[in-house]
């Protein structure tokens, strides 16, 4: 008997994905747990295994299509078995769970009015009529005062609809000034756009700028590079920054927190999981170094390299992307003096490290050329005041300017 496999809920609030590549074709024999497809979510590229053994009867989506959790992804059954195209349309999104009662479809006792239509302009009587007639009230344009839905609207919506010609959507390749290129917003870029918009529209962003004299840190790093190379480790400045950030967070725990808007509580994290923003061709991925306070400089360097490579190759596990308490984005490797990084919500702070360079500064009354590291700390002003952000930054600078405190 043919079995329909629906795109599963893989956790982390993921509701949809884009089919990157089918690894099977219709007519192929598959084994249980054999990978059917690679699906790109807003977290990572996930391999979807088959829950059944049998023959692939139908692939319900094409590559590059978006699929929602609960939509039928593939039908598997016996070779030559027909697929019932009408029994369960691809558009359905709800999975039936064993033992659950289905909603009443005939006139009878209506226990509850669906929470999904509570905000629609309609009287309780009209709502009950919609439920009894199986009409989705959300999709109706009311003809009553102020857009209120009437009984006539419900009755009209329940009548068989005449087939309509599909609307033709024209996308121009030109405008008044010249040629246009249209790039589809999808995958990581789409997820990045959504995440950034959520952060900016929720958190109260403020950015504090500072600078650390890392002349001494540069000297210590140069001395340690040979030892690191002998262990096949590339020692950058970033492990030192992570160490300094963790030590500053230990002194200022409010920056290692999250705001629970629903419960109106500030949740202070008693562990230090540091997210490192990685630039990939189609957006940003932020893998997380777990328990960064418990790792040596060389361990941090190796984990940063491993996570960055996995992010660029899209081989990260979902577990690598969750649990962060504070994020760092290293803009300096590309250049620049200042930036205003967007907080990796629901975290409450993020640090952008800019380009380390020789700069002219006054030291002990004399003009000198020193190596400095510009620091840009964005924080959520709902949780952190400017004074606390400045104190955190002062201590961070102090650790970076006293690099011996960062050694194992």
174 in a domain, yes or no? no
167 in a domain, yes or no? no
Tens-digit pLDDT profile for residues 237-279 = 999 999 999 999 999 999 999 999 889 999 999 999 999 999 9
Between 31 and 107, where is the model more confident? 31
- Same domain for 218 and 317, yes or no, is yes
- Same domain for 214 and 328, yes or no, is yes
137 in a domain, yes or no? yes
**In which band, very low, low, confident or very high, does the pLDDT at 124 lie, cut at 50, 70 and 90?**
low
Mean per-residue pLDDT, 362-385: 96
Q: Specify the pLDDT at position 93.
A: 38
Q: Tell me how far CA of residue 404 lies from CA of 249, 292, 328, 400, 408, in angstroms.
A: 18, 18, 22, 9, 9
236 in a domain, yes or no? yes
pLDDT(230) > 60: yes
Q: Are 120 and 138 in contact (CB under 8 A)?
A: yes
- Same domain for 127 and 223, yes or no, is no
Catalytic annotation present for 205: no
Tens-digit pLDDT profile for residues 165-191 = 555 556 677 888 899 888 888 778 888
At which of 60, 77, 94 does a domain end?
A: 77
84 in a domain, yes or no? no
Q: What is the spatial distance between Cα 185 and Cα 183, in angstroms, rounded to a whole number?
A: 6
Tens-digit pLDDT profile for residues 269-285 = 999 999 999 998 878 89
pLDDT(297) > 50: yes
The DSSP result for 321-372, as a single string, is GS--SEEEEEGGGT--S---PPP-TTBSEEEEE---EEEEEEETTEEEEEEE
Candidate list 60, 186, 205, 381, residue with the active-site label: 381
pLDDT(55) > 70: yes
Beta bridge partners of 260: 265
- Same domain for 42 and 139, yes or no, is no
Chain position carrying tokens 């009015």: 113
Mean per-residue pLDDT, 332-356: 94
Please give the model's pTM, rounded to 2 decimal places: 0.66
- Same domain for 68 and 124, yes or no, is no
Q: Average pLDDT, whole number, for the chain?
A: 84
252 in a domain, yes or no? yes
* Number of domains forming the structure of the chain: 3
Q: Specify the pLDDT at position 110.
A: 32
Q: Domain span at residue 151? A: 115-158
């Amino acid at each position: 008997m043919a079995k329909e496999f629906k795109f599963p809920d893989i956790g982390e609030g993921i509701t949809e994905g884009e089919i990157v590549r089918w690894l099977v074709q219709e007519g192929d024999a598959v084994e249980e747990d054999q990978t059917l497809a690679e699906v790109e979510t807003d977290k990572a590229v996930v391999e979807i295994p088959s829950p059944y053994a049998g023959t692939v009867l139908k692939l319900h989506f094409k590559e590059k299509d978006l699929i929602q959790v609960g939509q039928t992804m593939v039908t598997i059954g016996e070779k030559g078995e027909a697929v019932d195209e009408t029994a369960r349309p691809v558009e359905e999104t709800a999975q039936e769970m064993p033992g659950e009662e289905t909603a009443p479809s005939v006139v009878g006792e209506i226990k509850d009015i669906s929470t999904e239509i509570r905000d629609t302009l309609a009287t309780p009587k009209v709502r009950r009529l919609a439920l009894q007639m199986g009409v989705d009230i959300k999709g109706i344009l009311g003809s009553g005062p102020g857009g209120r839905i009437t009984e006539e609207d419900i009755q009209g919506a329940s009548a068989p609809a005449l087939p309509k010609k599909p609307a033709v959507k024209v996308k121009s390749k030109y405008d008044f000034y010249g040629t246009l290129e249209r790039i589809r917003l999808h995958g990581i870029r789409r997820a990045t756009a959504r995440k950034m918009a959520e952060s900016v529209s929720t958190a109260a962003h403020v950015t504090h700028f500072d600078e650390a004299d890392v002349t001494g840190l540069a000297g210590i790093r140069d001395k340690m590079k040979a030892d690191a190379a002998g262990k096949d480790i590339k020692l950058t400045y970033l492990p030192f920054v992570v160490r300094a950030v963790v030590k500053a967070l230990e002194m200022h725990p409010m920056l290692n927190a999250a705001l629970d808007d629903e419960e109106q509580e500030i949740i202070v994290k008693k562990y230090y999981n540091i997210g490192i923003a990685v630039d990939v061709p189609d957006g940003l991925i932020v893998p997380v170094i777990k328990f960064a306070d418990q790792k040596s400089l060389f361990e941090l360097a190796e984990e940063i390299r491993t996570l960055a490579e996995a992010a660029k190759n899209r081989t990260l596990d979902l577990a690598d992307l969750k649990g962060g308490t504070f994020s760092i984005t290293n803009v300096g490797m590309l250049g620049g003096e200042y930036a205003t990084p967007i907080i990796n919500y629901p975290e409450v702070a993020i640090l952008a490290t800019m380009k380390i360079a020789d700069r002219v500064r006054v030291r002990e009354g004399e003009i000198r050329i020193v190596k400095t590291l510009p620091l840009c700390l964005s924080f959520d002003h709902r949780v952190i005041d400017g004074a606390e952000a400045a104190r955190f930054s002062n201590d961070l600078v102090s650790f970076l300017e006293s690099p011996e405190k960062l050694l194992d």
